[in-house]
C-alpha cells in the first residue's frame, strides 16, 4: 500500500466519523436505557416481593440468553408484524439497550448484595423508609462498587453498536462498506481505520470511567473496596 | 407514666425461641444495663423494641404510643429511638457530618443550615467537631462509635438503645465511648445498654437486667445484684464477667 491509499482514506475520514457519531449516539442511548432499567431490575430482584423479583429475573434471563443480532431482527423486522414499526435507529437502541440492561442488572445486583445489611438497618433505625434507605444509603454505595463491572459493559456495548449495521442503521461499518464498494483497493485500510477508531473510543471511555471511579472513591477505603 | 413499657415479648427464629416472654419498664431518665450470655436474645430484645425485628407476640409502648400497633407509624417512632450498634454501622460513603445530618434532612425534614448547625453541635458534644469532614474509614473505632452516638442524638430521641457499643473496640478506645454514655446518663437520657462493662453498669445503671435463655432471670439495682442476688445463677454470671472484663470501664 502506498501513501496515496492513505490519502484517499483520509479524504473519507469525515464520512467515517459521521458514521461513528451514530455509533456514539446508539451507545449513549442504549447505555442510558440499560442503566435505568438495569437499576430498577436489580432493585426488584433484591428487594421486591417474590412475583416482581421473579419477573425481573425472567426479564434478565431472556435478554441475556438471546443473541444481539436476533434481538435486533426481532425488534426491527419482527415487531411491525404486530403493528409496531420502529426506525432502525430506535429498534437498535431498544434491542441493545434491553440487552445491556440485563447485564447491567447483574452488575448492580451483585453490588447491592455486597452492601452489609447493617447499612440498611442503621438507616431504618434512623426512621428512613425502605425506599429512602435504598435511595440515600444502599444505592449510592452500590453504584460506586459497580463502576468496575460497568466499565466492562461499556467496552462491550460500544463494540456491539456495529451490529446495528445488520438492520440498516448507517453507522460506521455501513459507511466503511459503502466506501469499499466504490473502491476495493481501500478494503484493508478502511477496516483498519474503523478498528483504530474503536480502539480510541474504548480507551477514551475507559479513561473517563477510571477518572470517575477515582473521583467517587470513598476516602479511607482505598484498596479495600 | 413509664417512658417505655415492654410486655411479654416473644420471638422465634425457626425452631429456636429466642425471646420467651420478656417484660420491662423504664421511667424517664432511667438507665438499664442488660447483661447475659451470648445468644440469649439481648440484641433481639433491643431490635424488637423499635421493630427492626418484628416480634411474634407482645407489646411495646413508647410513652402513650403503642409501637406494636398495627397502624403505628414506624418511621416516626424509630426517629424517636436512638440505636447504637456494636459495629457502628456508619454510612461508609458519607462524612461524619453527613452521617449525623442525614436523619435531620431526610427524616425530620429540617433545612440545610439548621441541620448542619445541629449536627456540628452533636459532633462537638462527642468531641469530634474537628473530624466533621472525615469519612468513617478515616476514623478509629472509638471515633466511629462516637459519631454513631451523635447521629442518634441529633434526632432528639426519647430513648437510646445501645447494643454492646464497646465490644468491637480495642481496650484503649473503650473509655472514650463510655465517657460519652456516662455523660448522657447524667444528663437524664433514658437508655437501655447491653454491655458487659461492669464499671459502667455500677456507676450509671439504675438497674441491671440479667437475661438468659430468652427470659429475664433477675433485675435490680447494681448494689443489690452484686451483693445479694436472689438467683444464684445471677451472682455466678456477674462474678464471671467482672473477672473477664474487669471493673475499670
Ligand atoms: N436474623 C436471625 N435469623 C435467625 N436466627 C437469629 C437471627 N438473629 C438472631 N438469631 C438467633 O437468635 C439467638 C439470639 O440472638 P441475639 O443476637 O439476640 O443474642 P445476644 O444475646 O445478643 O447474643 P450476643 O451476646 O452474642 O450478641 C441466637 O441463637 C441467634 O443465632
Ligand atoms: Mg447481641
> Whole-angstrom Cα distance, residue A182 to residue A186?
9
> Whole-angstrom Cα distance, residue A205 to residue A1?
32
CB A35 within 8 A of CB A43: no
Task: Assign B246 a pLDDT band (cuts: 50, 70, 90).
Answer: low
Q: What is the DSSP string of B113-180?
A: HHHHHHHHHHHHHTT-GGGTT--GGGS-HHHHHHHHHHHHHTT--SEEEEESTTTTS-HHHHHHHHHH
Searching chain B, which residue's CA lies closest to the CA of residue A119? Answer: B89
How many CB atoms neighbour CB B12 within 10 A? Answer: 14
* Segment A101-151, tens digit of pLDDT: 999 999 999 999 999 999 999 999 999 999 999 999 999 999 999 998 999
Ligand 1 close to Cβ of residue B15 (< 6 A): no
What pLDDT is stored for residue B115 in this prediction? 98
Searching chain B, which residue's CA lies closest to the CA of residue A116? Answer: B89
What pLDDT is stored for residue B15 in this prediction? 93
Task: Assign B1 a pLDDT band (cuts: 50, 70, 90).
Answer: confident
Kindly give the distance from the C-alpha atom of residue B43 to the centroid of ligand 1, in angstroms, as a whole number: 7
Kindly give the distance from the C-alpha atom of residue B133 to the centroid of ligand 1, in angstroms, as a whole number: 35
Task: Give the containing element (helix H, strand E) for A91.
Answer: helix A88-113
The number of the ligand 1 atom at minimal distance from the alpha carbon of B211 is 21
End-to-end CA distance of chain A: give it in Å, rounded.
50
How many residue pairs bridge chain A and chain B with CB atoms within 8 Å of each other? 77
Say if the Cβ atoms of A126 and B103 lie within 8 Å. Answer: yes
Searching chain B, which residue's CA lies closest to the CA of residue A121? Answer: B52
Question: Which triple of cell numbers denotes residue B247?
Answer: 471493673
Select from A165, A154, A160 the least CA-distant residue to A73.
A165
What pLDDT is stored for residue A173 in this prediction? 95
Task: Assign A221 a pLDDT band (cuts: 50, 70, 90).
Answer: confident
Q: Which residues of B135-159 are buried (b: 16+ CB within 10 A; e: fewer)?
A: bbbbbebbbbbbbbbbbbbbbebbb
* Segment B137-175, tens digit of pLDDT: 999 999 999 999 999 999 999 999 999 999 999 999 999
What pLDDT is stored for residue B248 in this prediction? 45
Mean pLDDT for A148-156 is: 93
Instruction: Indicate whether A15 pLDDT > 70.
Output: yes
Mean pLDDT of chain A: 94
Domain CATH code at residue A212: 1.10.3720.10
Report which protein residue has its CA nearest ligand 1's atom 24.
B38
Cβ neighbors of B158 (< 8 A, separation 6 or more) are B3, B62, B63, B80, B81, B190
* Domains held by chain A: number: 1
Instruction: Indicate whether A220 pLDDT > 70.
Output: yes
Q: What angle do CA B102, B87, B40 make, to 5 degrees?
A: 120
> Whole-angstrom Cα distance, residue B175 to residue B168?
13
> Whole-angstrom Cα distance, residue A28 to residue A154?
10
Task: Assign A225 a pLDDT band (cuts: 50, 70, 90).
Answer: very low
What pLDDT is stored for residue A223 in this prediction? 52
* Segment B52-92, tens digit of pLDDT: 999 999 999 999 999 999 999 999 999 999 999 999 999 99
Find which of B88, B91, B98, B192 to mutate to test the A interface (most A CBs within 10 Å of its CB): B91
Q: Strands across the sheet with B207-212, in order?
A: B81-84, B159-163, B190-194, B31-35, B207-212, B215-220
Chain B partners within 8 Å of A220 (Cβ): 134-139
Q: Say whether B109 sits in a helix, a strand or coil.
A: coil
Question: Which triple of cell numbers denotes residue B139?
Answer: 476514623
Q: What ipTM was predicted for this assembly?
A: 0.94
Strands B4-13 and B57-62: antiparallel
Find cell 452489609 and name the residue: A116
Extract the runs of DSSP E, i.e. beta strands, from chain B. Answer: 4-13, 16-26, 31-35, 57-62, 65-66, 81-84, 159-163, 190-194, 207-212, 215-220
Kindly give the distance from the C-alpha atom of residue B39 to the centroid of ligand 2, in angstroms, as a whole number: 7
Find which of B62, B89, B138 to mutate to test the A interface (most A CBs within 10 Å of its CB): B89
> Measured on CA atoms in the order B72, B73, B79, B83, is the torsion positive or negative?
positive
Percent helix, strand and coil across chain B, each to the nearest 5: 40, 25, 35
Chain B nearest CA to A29, separation (Å): 29
Chain B nearest CA to A44, separation (Å): 21
Q: Which domain holds residue A12?
A: 3-224
What pLDDT is stored for residue B247 in this prediction? 58
What pLDDT is stored for residue B245 in this prediction? 76
Report which protein residue has its CA nearest ligand 1's atom 31.
B39
Task: Assign A68 a pLDDT band (cuts: 50, 70, 90).
Answer: very high
Task: Assign B186 a pLDDT band (cuts: 50, 70, 90).
Answer: very high
- Residue predicted with more confidence, B104 or B239: B104
Whose atoms come closest to the Cα of B241: which ligand? Answer: 1
Instruction: Indicate whether B111 pLDDT > 50.
Output: yes
Searching chain B, which residue's CA lies closest to the CA of residue A144? Answer: B93
Mean pLDDT for A81-94 is: 97
Percent helix, strand and coil across chain A, each to the nearest 5: 85, 0, 15
Distance of CA A75 to the CA centre of its chain: 17
Question: Which triple of cell numbers denotes residue B238?
Answer: 456477674
Amino acid at each position: 500500500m502506498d501513501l496515496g491509499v492513505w490519502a484517499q482514506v483520509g479524504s473519507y475520514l469525515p464520512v467515517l466519523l459521521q458514521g461513528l457519531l451514530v455509533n456514539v449516539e446508539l451507545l449513549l442511548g442504549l447505555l442510558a436505557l440499560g442503566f435505568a432499567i438495569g437499576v430498577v431490575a436489580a432493585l426488584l430482584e433484591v428487594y421486591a416481593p417474590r412475583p416482581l423479583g421473579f419477573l425481573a429475573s425472567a426479564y434478565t434471563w431472556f435478554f441475556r440468553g438471546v443473541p444481539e443480532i436476533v434481538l435486533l431482527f426481532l425488534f426491527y423486522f419482527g415487531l411491525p408484524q404486530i403493528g409496531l414499526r420502529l426506525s432502525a435507529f430506535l429498534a437498535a437502541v431498544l434491542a441493545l439497550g434491553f440487552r445491556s440492561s440485563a447485564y447491567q442488572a447483574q452488575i448492580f445486583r451483585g453490588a447491592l448484595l455486597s452492601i452489609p445489611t447493617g447499612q440498611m438497618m442503621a438507616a431504618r433505625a434512623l426512621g428512613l423508609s425502605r425506599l429512602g434507605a435504598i435511595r440515600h444509603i444502599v444505592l449510592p454505595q452500590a453504584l460506586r462498587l459497580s463502576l468496575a463491572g460497568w466499565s466492562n459493559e461499556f467496552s462491550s456495548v460500544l463494540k456491539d453498536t456495529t451490529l446495528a449495521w445488520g438492520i440498516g442503521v448507517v453507522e460506521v461499518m455501513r459507511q466503511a462498506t459503502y466506501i469499499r464498494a466504490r473502491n476495493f483497493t481501500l478494503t484493508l485500510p478502511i477496516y483498519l481505520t474503523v478498528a483504530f477508531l474503536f480502539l480510541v473510543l474504548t480507551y477514551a471511555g475507559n479513561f473517563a470511567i477510571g477518572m470517575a471511579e477515582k473521583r467517587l472513591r470513598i476516602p479511607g477505603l482505598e484498596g479495600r473496596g | 407514666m413509664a417512658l417505655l413499657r415492654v410486655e411479654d415479648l416473644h420471638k422465634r427464629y425457626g425452631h429456636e425461641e429466642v425471646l420467651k416472654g420478656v417484660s420491662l419498664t423504664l421511667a424517664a431518665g432511667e438507665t438499664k444495663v442488660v447483661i447475659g450470655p451470648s445468644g440469649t436474645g439481648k440484641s433481639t430484645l433491643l431490635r424488637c423494641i423499635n421493630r427492626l425485628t418484628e416480634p411474634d407476640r407482645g407489646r411495646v409502648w413508647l410513652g402513650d404510643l403503642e409501637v406494636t400497633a398495627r397502624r403505628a407509624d414506624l418511621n416516626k417512632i424509630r426517629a424517636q429511638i436512638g440505636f447504637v450498634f456494636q459495629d457502628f454501622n456508619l454510612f461508609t460513603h458519607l462524612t461524619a457530618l453527613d452521617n449525623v445530618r442525614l436523619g435531620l434532612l431526610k427524616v425530620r425534614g429540617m433545612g440545610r443550615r439548621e441541620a448542619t448547625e445541629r449536627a456540628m453541635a452533636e459532633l462537638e458534644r462527642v468531641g469530634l467537631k474537628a473530624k466533621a469532614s472525615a469519612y468513617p474509614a478515616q476514623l478509629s473505632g472509638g471515633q466511629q462509635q462516637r459519631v454513631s452516638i451523635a447521629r442518634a442524638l441529633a434526632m432528639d430521641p426519647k430513648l437510646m438503645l445501645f447494643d454492646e457499643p464497646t465490644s468491637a473496640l480495642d481496650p484503649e478506645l473503650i473509655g472514650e465511648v463510655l465517657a460519652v454514655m456516662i455523660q448522657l446518663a447524667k444528663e437524664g437520657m433514658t437508655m437501655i445498654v447491653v454491655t458487659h462493662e461492669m464499671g459502667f453498669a455500677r456507676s450509671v445503671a439504675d438497674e441491671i437486667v440479667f437475661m438468659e435463655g430468652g427470659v429475664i432471670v433477675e433485675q435490680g439495682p447494681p448494689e443489690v445484684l452484686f451483693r445479694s442476688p436472689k438467683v444464684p445463677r445471677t451472682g455466678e454470671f456477674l462474678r464471671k464477667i467482672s473477672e473477664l472484663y474487669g471493673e475499670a470501664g
